[in-house]
């Protein structure tokens, strides 16, 4: 499905990003891993290579333009092009009423979840246009990008904005062969969700009850959807928001 493609994955050091690295590699892609934790990336890259995958990694903060540009340049310089990207890096905050939310929490959540996607798209699209062969970008939003959730106003605002960026870019770059789609991800087992559950032990059961399937997704289930959108099998899909939420958005 992805044989011969070069795919960059942000937030690759754990959770959905790590799962996406394995799924994409298993489908034949060369994966470029991006996250802040260098040692974890190094370990994951070694594990992938042990299974026969071609991979490289770049330690980068997605809120820093020079670091994002360096990660994209690594993919292009080493492999000649960038075919696809899964912009998955994200951050959450303590759920609190809007008027009690700390300004620093707002800034951090918007920086990572929105500015990070903006910067990644900016440099990924530049590389794809320069190659002249098109490409595919998948942005990881959330069910919180479609409706208000308990995740807090900054998170909800950022994830809504990611869908707006996705649609704007999809329309602008469709003539150039660059497809841009988003995932509306539901409750998924990841480092981020575990942090939420640690802060609020009742949150997992509460969220399960709100989900028609009554369970938490495995990160691989989300990764498989991202991989499909990155592939040529999704060649006529752009500007779309794909729900991977166990039916939560249907209620």
Find the catalytic residue in 79, 106, 123, 155.
155
User: Are residues 85 and 181 in contact, defined by beta-carbon separation less than 8 angstroms?
Assistant: no
The backbone torsions φ and ψ at residue 59, rounded to the nearest 5 degrees and listed phi first, read -75, 120
The helix or strand, by DSSP H or E, that contains position 58, with its residue range, turns out to be strand 55-59
155 belongs to the catalytic site: yes
Rounded Cα–Cα distance for residues 55 and 46 (Å): 9
Q: How far apart are CA 104 and CA 115, in angstroms?
A: 15
Helices (DSSP H) in the chain: which residue ranges? 15-26, 38-50, 65-79, 103-110, 116-131, 153-173, 191-199, 203-209, 219-230
Tell me what percent of the chain is helix, strand and coil, each rounded to the nearest 5: 55, 15, 30
What residues are labeled active site? Answer: 155
């Amino acid at each position: 499905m992805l044989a011969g493609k070069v795919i960059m994955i942000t937030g690759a050091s754990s959770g959905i990003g790590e799962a996406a690295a394995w799924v994409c590699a298993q489908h034949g892609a060369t994966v470029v891993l991006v996250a802040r934790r260098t040692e974890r990336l190094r370990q994951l890259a070694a594990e992938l290579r042990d299974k026969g995958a071609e991979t490289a990694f770049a330690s980068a903060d997605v809120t820093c333009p020079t670091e994002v540009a360096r990660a994209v340049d690594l993919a292009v310089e080493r492999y000649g092009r960038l075919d696809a990207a899964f912009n998955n890096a994200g951050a959450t905050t303590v759920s609190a009423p809007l008027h009690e939310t700390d300004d620093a929490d707002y800034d951090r959540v918007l920086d990572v979840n929105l500015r990070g996607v903006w910067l990644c798209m900016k440099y990924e699209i530049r590389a794809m246009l320069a190659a002249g062969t098109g490409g595919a970008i998948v942005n990881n939003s959330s069910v919180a990008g479609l409706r208000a959730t308990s995740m807090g106003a900054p998170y909800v605002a950022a994830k809504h904005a990611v869908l707006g960026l996705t649609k704007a870019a999809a329309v602008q770059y469709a003539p150039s062969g660059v497809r841009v789609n988003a995932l509306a991800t539901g409750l998924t087992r990841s480092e981020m969700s575990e942090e939420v559950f640690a802060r609020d032990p009742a949150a997992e059961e509460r969220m399960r009850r709100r989900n028609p399937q009554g369970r938490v997704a495995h990160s691989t289930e989300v990764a498989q959807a991202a991989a499909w959108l990155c592939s040529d099998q999704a060649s006529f899909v752009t500007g779309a928001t794909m729900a991977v939420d166990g039916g939560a958005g249907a209620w």
